[in-house]
Structure 1
């Protein structure tokens, strides 16, 4: 029997949209640019993968013929997006071609047989733990910005380290990221039984996987999570995402945190500080975004200079009674950290002129950021 189904445009659009970032990237196998569409008894199943992240979504549909084939991900998405019809009909013809009918519009689209499409990873249905989806969204929000880019030489830094821990009879999930110049840590207190999560030491989630997991969680109230050998599985009743994990040596982040003494504290209003940094950043060099911070009793003087454009200076009121400090930092690192925080005032700890800066607040529970200094 060949595939023949009619589906709601909005349902199909939502499913195809979720798959676009997974399927529309440069791939060595042409089949990976396609979406696998399977018409089953009670609906259609859409599957996309780039061999690092796989997503399978079930959508209700009227099934007139069961079948399976693959279609170009971007093109079918564009067809459905531009369609003005509330219903879309997909009917397979010969040699994996399909006729797509949408109101008065008809499209003939060439697909590929499903034989070459990678098999969706198998997993144990009994190892899942249910969480509020917002827990993972918050964890990811607080660390994703400081993951190293793919061109970085340090392989492990292009991933997020994931850990679980029990302390003081409470359970925590933790994500850590670093690009070698800064470190972000976020942990959340959870009520779920994390003993059921089999997380190995040094479990690394690729940046792409973390980004897709956040999208998965953002559109849901709850999510079921499981860790198996070399993969993380997230699912609900209609969808399953499988992310291929990596193992590696992540920097000893606890030693970096412990090296900053929590004594020499600077307290500053977050929003005015962030606005000041954005102004000062207008005159930084494009590559390093270097700014100078001159700190003394009651005030911080921010300054930047660009050899081609000029210079800028800004003054902020602070709470500080320590020795004067003259510091150099990447302005963008401060901006990105402050943007994910929610506090009114932030506490910054700096040991000396050549020390890293640790930032945290009582409002942003579980979060801290460390930014390494730059030579002025």
Structure 2
């Protein structure tokens, strides 16, 4: 049988938009750039996958004839986006082609047979726990910036470590990221009973999965979550997302945190510090954005230099009573950390001229960041 349906433009566009980051990844299988479109009771099921992240969406539609086909995800999205019509009619013809009508416009679009499309991963209906999405949005926001990029040699650092913890009878969810030069930790108290959440010894979620998890949560108030040994499943009444977990090692972040003594403290106003760093960063000359940070009695001096352009120097009042220190840091790491914080005052802890800097605040509950020093 050949698919034939009519669907509201806005509903179709919203669903196709959700699939674009998944289906537009360059890969070896051409069909992965297509979206699988299947009829179901009362509508369509749209599926996209890159074999790492799979997303299945239900869209209400008027079904004239049942069927299924795959169409180029980007092109069908562009057609629907540019359409001025309130409804779209889609009809499958010979050899996996589709005729798409939108108002007075008609398009003939070449698809591919649906039997070549990868199967959607199986998952169990057991062990799902419902969470309000703001929990995950805050966790992700606080750690996503320090995940290693895909070119990183240590494969597992391109992931986020996900953990659960119970402290004095209170349940917490925790995310940790590191690119080998910095570390971000965020934990969030949750009311849900986490006994049903079965995690691996190391549960590693790839960066692409974290990005799509965030996007999945942005338009929803709540989401159900379940973990299998090799995948994370997110769902609500209209959609299911499955993220394949990674295997590998992860730095012993507790030992790294424990190595920084919380004694030599600097209190800094966050916004002036951030603005100063942005000015100093204008004159960093290498990919490492190296700056010099000098700490003296109740003041901090930031400086950078560029052999071709010149140099910059900025001074900030701080609360600091320790010995004079001079360190090198990647300016961008400080900027990105301060941008996700919401506090007025940052507490930074630096023990010596060669020690890392740990930053946290009472207002950013559950969050801390460590930035490793650089050689000047």
* Interval containing the TM-score (normalised by the shorter chain): over 0.9
Q: 1:160 aligns to what SS in structure 2?
A: strand
Q: Who is 2:155 aligned against?
A: 155
Q: Who is 1:206 aligned against?
A: 206
Q: Return the offset for 1:286.
A: 3.4
Q: Who is 1:87 aligned against?
A: 87
Q: Who is 1:228 aligned against?
A: 228
| C-alpha contact 1:270 1:344 (8 A) present in aligned 2 | yes
Q: Return the offset for 1:315.
A: 0.7
Whether 2:73 is the aligned partner of 1:73: answer yes
Which portions of structure 1, spanning 4 or more consecutive aligned residues, are displaced by more than 6 angstroms?
Answer: none
Q: 1:149 aligns to what SS in structure 2?
A: coil
Q: Who is 1:42 aligned against?
A: 42
CA distance in 2, matches of 1:65, 1:41: 11
CA distance in 1, matches of 2:285, 2:142: 26
Q: 1:88 aligns to what SS in structure 2?
A: strand
What do residues 316-339 of structure 1 show as CA deviations (whole Å, max 9, x unaligned)? 110111111111100000000000
Q: Return the offset for 1:95.
A: 1.0
Q: Return the offset for 1:178.
A: 0.4
CA distance in 2, matches of 1:6, 1:243: 31
CA distance in 2, matches of 1:145, 1:308: 30
Give the number of equivalent residue pairs.
376
| C-alpha contact 1:337 1:369 (8 A) present in aligned 2 | yes
Q: 1:246 aligns to what SS in structure 2?
A: coil
Q: Return the offset for 1:41.
A: 2.3
CA distance in 1, matches of 2:294, 2:63: 69
CA distance in 1, matches of 2:90, 2:223: 31
Q: Return the offset for 1:201.
A: 1.1
Q: Who is 1:22 aligned against?
A: 22
What do residues 222-267 of structure 1 show as CA deviations (whole Å, max 9, x unaligned)? 0000001200000000000000001211000000000000000000
Whether 2:115 is the aligned partner of 1:112: answer no
Whether 2:176 is the aligned partner of 1:176: answer yes
What do residues 277-323 of structure 1 show as CA deviations (whole Å, max 9, x unaligned)? 00000000131100001111111011000111100011111011111
CA distance in 2, matches of 1:222, 1:97: 38
CA distance in 1, matches of 2:261, 2:318: 19
Q: Who is 1:310 aligned against?
A: 310
Q: Who is 1:146 aligned against?
A: 146
Which consecutive unaligned segments of at least 5 residues does structure 2 have? Answer: none
Q: Return the offset for 1:97.
A: 0.6
Q: Who is 1:281 aligned against?
A: 281
CA distance in 1, matches of 2:261, 2:229: 38
Q: 1:322 aligns to what SS in structure 2?
A: coil
Q: Who is 2:134 aligned against?
A: 134
CA distance in 1, matches of 2:227, 2:168: 24
Whether 2:293 is the aligned partner of 1:293: answer yes
CA distance in 1, matches of 2:286, 2:16: 37
Q: Who is 2:264 aligned against?
A: 264
CA distance in 2, matches of 1:227, 1:288: 37
CA distance in 1, matches of 2:346, 2:59: 46
CA distance in 1, matches of 2:167, 2:118: 41
What do residues 32-61 of structure 1 show as CA deviations (whole Å, max 9, x unaligned)? 010000012210010000000000000001
CA distance in 1, matches of 2:214, 2:222: 12
CA distance in 1, matches of 2:315, 2:240: 51
| C-alpha contact 1:41 1:66 (8 A) present in aligned 2 | no
Whether 2:42 is the aligned partner of 1:55: answer no
